[in-house]
Structure 1
Amino acid sequence: MEFFEVVKNRYACKKFDGRPVAKEHLDAILEAGRLAPTAKNLQEQRIYVVQSEEGLAKIDKVTPCRYGAATVVVVAFDTTNVFTYPGEKRDSGVEDATIVATHMMLATKAEGVDSCWINFFDPEVAAKELGLPENEEVLMILDLGYPVEGTTPLAMHTQRKELSETVTYM
């Protein structure tokens, strides 16, 4: 699928049919995340693929938003391996993990799979429930799968502000 078609057609699927994502598609999605740029190439992202019944039950304990997906990707980052920006008020952890997650989300659509970016959870609770190391912070959960037949984007999906409302030339 052409890039702008991917961007235009990607939506937050909220009703998956429960089939796990095919290995070849999942491998391509994970590879897209691996190729994402990170500050100073630190690659602090940590990706957890959850497909087991036990793992999915843990996801269900931390969020009601799995929507029937049989494959879930948790994107975290190593807080001890980040680049601190000038001024020392921000670091690259959230930014880099977001770039990785976005690459995977777009690759998902390109692979003919749907996704939903989930941030309705407490990151500390999720990390503890999943048994992640203390130095890792969970950024988001990405539901992956195939939509139930007839599932469509939410009604407001195609409504976008004009560029003149969001872009300022200086």
Structure 2
Amino acid sequence: MDFLELAKQRCTTRGFTGGIIGKSHLDRILSAGRVAPSACNMQPQRIIVVQQSDNILKIQKAYRTFGSQCVLIVCQDKRNALVRPFDGKCSGDLDIGIICDHMMLAARELNIGSVMVGLFDPEIIRKDFNIPEYIEPTALLLLGYPDKGFLSADRHITERKTLSDTVMYESYNEQSQVAFKDFQ
């Protein structure tokens, strides 16, 4: 499949059938995360695969699971974090985002839906899954088969900002964006 077409077909899924993801498909999704780039190849990801119903219930204390029977707790190891010396920005959040994106695209290629969640209570996750302090729960990746199918890839035509709304060349200049829109 063409990459841009795959990217357009990936969509957030907030309703799953409850079907079980087979091991070969799960391994393929996890492998896509494994080969994702990370800053200086630090590979900070530590992923807890949650599929047992009692553990799904633990996750539901921190965030909704929308019927998913497979949740990946995507954490970052903070012990050897790459920190930008100029302002103290840690690369770990970016790395985890890239890793999750790779896994979401791999899932979509397999007709598996996904939603990446950052708005969850990390302390509940940390406590209920025995996660040490130096490991930071960063994202939940809910996986499963969509109960209402996938959204149309054509939705980007109306639901996404145009390139001229989000891209500038050579420097930040909102005026050039306004001027560019006037000529469209």
On whether the aligned pair clears a TM of 0.5, the verdict is yes
- Paired position in structure 1 for 2:90: 91
Report the Cα offset of residue 153 of structure 1: 3.4
Structure 1 letter corresponding to 2:9: N
Q: Is the 8 A contact 1:98 1:139 kept in 2?
A: no
- Paired position in structure 1 for 2:125: 126
Q: In the aligned structure 2, how far is the partner of 1:61 from the partner of 1:79?
A: 25
Q: In the aligned structure 2, how far is the partner of 1:41 from the partner of 1:13?
A: 30
- Paired position in structure 2 for 1:36: 36
The farther-off stretch of 126-135 and 14-23 is 126-135
- Paired position in structure 1 for 2:12: 12
TM-score, normalisation: structure 2: 0.85
SS in 2 for 1:13: coil
How does 1:31-110 map onto structure 2 within 5 Å? 31-64=31-64, 66-110=65-109
Q: Is the 8 A contact 1:84 1:91 kept in 2?
A: yes
Structure 2 letter corresponding to 1:123: P
**5+ long unaligned stretches in structure 1:** none
Q: Percent same amino acid at aligned positions?
A: 40
TM-score, normalisation: structure 1: 0.91
SS in 1 for 2:55: helix
Report the Cα offset of residue 152 of structure 1: 4.5
Q: In the aligned structure 1, how far is the partner of 2:53 from the partner of 2:124?
A: 19
Q: In the aligned structure 2, how far is the partner of 1:103 from the partner of 1:68?
A: 22
- Paired position in structure 2 for 1:135: 134
Q: In the aligned structure 1, how far is the partner of 2:140 from the partner of 2:6?
A: 20
Report the Cα offset of residue 99 of structure 1: 1.0
Aligned length: 166
Q: Is the 8 A contact 1:124 1:137 kept in 2?
A: no
Once the two structures are superposed, what CA deviation does each residue of 1:51-110 show, in whole Å capped at 9, x if it has no partner? 01121011111112x100111111110111211112151112111111111111111101
Output the aligned Cα RMSD: 1.5
**5+ long unaligned stretches in structure 2:** 171-184
Q: In the aligned structure 2, how far is the partner of 1:70 from the partner of 1:96?
A: 25
Once the two structures are superposed, what CA deviation does each residue of 1:38-57 show, in whole Å capped at 9, x if it has no partner? 11111111011100112101
Distance of aligned partners of 1:42 and 1:152 in 2 relative to their CA distance in 1, 3 Å threshold: closer
Structure 2 letter corresponding to 1:9: Q
- Paired position in structure 2 for 1:153: 151
Distance of aligned partners of 1:25 and 1:132 in 2 relative to their CA distance in 1, 3 Å threshold: same
